[in-house]
Structure 1
């Protein structure tokens, strides 16, 4: 098959996948008498025990529009991986987060994706529909690890209020590093000592102490971006989402690497290449195709509506 023929087949299939998922959203959210979600989507790879939902965004270049955000939600099955050692976790004075990372981890597997050029509410619709395919509303436990963006919190809490909301550990840790550099100077010993102490406290769930340390800084004499200046309020308002000691003990994941990796491998690998960019319609069709392909549903989706080559 020639490259041109392969391109036309791929684009045709992607367009059909995009029409299909938009019709699913219409039947559930737009029609005067919405149909039950069980009659709209086909269950695929249901999760019974622990599931996780993570969402984020990435940029693609569109012709005549410039760089636009692609929003993505990833649903994964979580399998707690317990340490073989029977030793109790030691105190933060003895063990740093970098050492403790090997103590206990959650393994995320069997990922499925939904990505598109959507606003937050549209992303919420497709997040919910993907969750219905995986039956995450029926699983025993559900978590959602994200970077704390308000739009992500809003759509996930609306769709799945039972989900345990968790701030991605690395985003929280990175924010502490930004504060320390602004307050004490990049590369200084005082900066390193301060941030390592706060990261240790945060790792062991002592968020209130971290908040107190942030408020104790002399912000009137700190020159920094507004985002960094808002760090005391950021941590204070998200304390329940940063109880990392409990989350690890309970087997919940604390990283949102699945969606960050998904943005790179599912979206950017194919759609962020040199060139003039994508037409919006073609980009949306390709995102629909990539979502199905990387979700492991290619064979099912292909045979449900094979594009005809003309």
Structure 2
């Protein structure tokens, strides 16, 4: 019943039980069982990490996903952790790789980053700091947290986010036809300073926009050594965390007409457990109550 409530809207579970199991289970029953299970699930067990001793490095990604609540749109902060051994290459071009993950662990919190960070830290606690590879979108609080807590880790600014920033920041002016493509190549070569010089030469770009772009690339230059990252075998995109938004949050919690209230946090915890393949924590709850 809990699994049904975690994967689909409560009304659909009523149909499922009647159609396939010939059981009369109301939507409210599924809601109550799901809610109780989520409330009983201990976060110290849910976010107990692993050491990944058999892996050369471990990726960690963080981003935010918004859901509609009774108080308006609120952010759910999402983290995803996986080893390089769990990455399966599906397709590859000169500038982009599509991968599939055989296993990963999730962290999610509906609230402030101050409450989210200890949960993520717990998930990472058994991993050697120098094995960590963070790939993020340049969010200031994430960057500060990584630098303070994991100074030995490798920090990478998502390459595709860096390109998007440049594309959006210069779309209002005419540029040579191959200008953006050339900047992509410079970034892949780790030549951020050259990209900054190219931005300075855009005479039609308003000074305020120009300064904003220059500051962005100057402030993030230390995590834009894409040539080195690729030589080391690291991925430079954060597609895994974008996928996490869909599978962990949006598929269940961003459906038409949904507005979330007190059931938000228990359901998020349960989805973290199921998507991280930690169903044994749910099973343990029912064994205790039996």
TM-score of the aligned structures, taking structure 2 as reference length: 0.80
For structure 1, the residue ranges without an aligned partner over 5 or more in a row are 25-38, 84-97, 185-189
| Equivalent pairs, count | 263
Structure 2 residue runs of 5 or longer lacking an equivalent are 1-16, 18-24
Would the aligned equivalents of 1:181 and 1:191 in 2 still touch at CA under 8 Å? no
Which residue of the partner structure matches residue 9 of structure 1?
Answer: 33
Can you list the C-alpha shifts for 1:204-229, whole angstroms capped at 9, x where unaligned? Answer: 111111111112222xx4359x6775
Cα distance between partner residues in 1 of 2:275 and 2:36: 18
Q: Do 1:52 and 1:144's aligned partners in 2 also have CA atoms closer than 8 Å?
A: yes
Q: CA deviation at 1:41?
A: 6.4
Q: In the alignment, which residue of structure 1 is the partner of 2:165?
A: 175
The yes-or-no answer on 1:120 pairing with 2:113 is yes
| 1:278 counterpart SS class | coil
Contact 1:60 1:272 in 2 (8 A): yes
What aligned pairs does 1:200-215 form with structure 2 within 5 A after superposition? 200-215=185-200
Q: Which residue of 1 aligns with 2:266?
A: 285
Q: Is 1:237 aligned to residue 219 of structure 2?
A: yes
Q: Please name the residue that 1:217 is paired with.
A: 202
Structure-to-structure mapping, 1:131-142, within 5 angstroms: 131-132=124-125, 135-137=126-128, 141-142=131-132
Preserved contact between residue 78 and residue 253 of structure 1 (Cα < 8 Å): no
Larger RCO (alpha carbons 8 Å, 6+ apart): 1
> SS at 1:55's partner residue?
strand
User: How far, CA to CA, are the matches of 1:195 and 1:41 in structure 2?
Assistant: 42
2: distance between equivalents of 1:43 and 1:141?
Answer: 14
Give the ranges of 4+ consecutive aligned residues of structure 1 lying more than 3 Å apart after TM superposition. 39-48, 79-83, 104-109, 226-229
Q: 2:122 aligns with which of 122, 129, 144?
A: 129
Q: Equivalent residue for 2:95?
A: 101
Contact 2:170–2:205 at 8 Å: present in 1 too? no
TM-fit CA distance, 1:232: 0.9
Alpha-carbon distance between aligned partners in 2 of 1:141 and 1:282, rounded to the nearest angstrom: 37
State the alpha-carbon separation in 2 of the partners of residues 80 and 115 from structure 1.
Answer: 21
Partner of 1:30: none
Cα pair distance change 1:250/1:81, threshold 3 Å: farther
Aligned with 2:60 (options 35, 49, 53): 53
Report if aligned partners of 2:50, 2:124 keep a CA contact under 8 Å in 1: no
Shift of 1:292: 0.9
* Contact kept? 2:87, 2:102, Cα under 8 Å: no
CA distance in 2, matches of 1:288, 1:258: 19
> Is the CA contact 2:80–2:104 (under 8 Å) kept in the aligned structure 1?
yes
Residue in 1 that maps onto 2:285: 305
The structure 2 residue matched to 1:69, chosen from 65, 70, 75, is 75
Is the contact between residue 46 and residue 273 of structure 2 (CA under 8 Å) also seen in structure 1? no
3-state secondary structure, aligned to 1:52: strand
> Given the superposition, is the C-alpha separation of residues 278 and 105 from structure 1 closer, same or farther in structure 2, using an over 3 Å criterion?
closer
2:102 and 2:170 map into 1 onto residues whose CA distance is 35
Counterpart in 1 of 2:11? none
CA RMSD across the alignment: 3.1
Change (3 A) 1:3 1:169: farther
CA distance in 1: counterparts of 2:229 and 2:200, whole angstroms = 25
